[in-house]
Amino acid sequence: MADPTEYLVARLHEALTHDPRVNDQSLEVRVEGQRVVLRGELATPERCQAAIAVAKELFPEATVVADLRATPERPAPDPEHL
């Protein structure tokens, strides 16, 4: 049986990947008790703020710790159309 924390990490990672405000699957996500930790690089400062917002929306009672950097030279991925 998988650790319940793994489910929480997967849920947040999926939300970050599919939310059009973030649209990125490269972020490192960890859940440590009542803390949610985000690490990585995104294309814009707005996407960094959006990643924090998504984490707070999914885990409103948790403390979100973000070590995110905006890397402008990294192009934002196009949304995947299914």
Could you say which of 1.10.3720.10, 3.40.1190.20, 1.10.287.890, 3.30.70.1770 is the CATH number of the domain covering 4-70? 3.30.70.1770
60 pLDDT above the threshold of 50:
yes
What is the average per-residue pLDDT within 3-7? Answer: 82
Residue 74: pLDDT band with limits 50, 70, 90: low
In the chain, domain spans: 4-70
Give me the helices (H) in 19-44, please.
none
How much is the mean pLDDT over the chain? Answer: 88
Based on its alpha-carbon atoms, the radius of gyration of the chain, rounded to whole angstroms, reads 12
Residue 4: pLDDT band with limits 50, 70, 90: confident
What is the average per-residue pLDDT within 19-43? Answer: 93
65 pLDDT above the threshold of 80:
yes
CB 62 within 8 A of CB 52: no
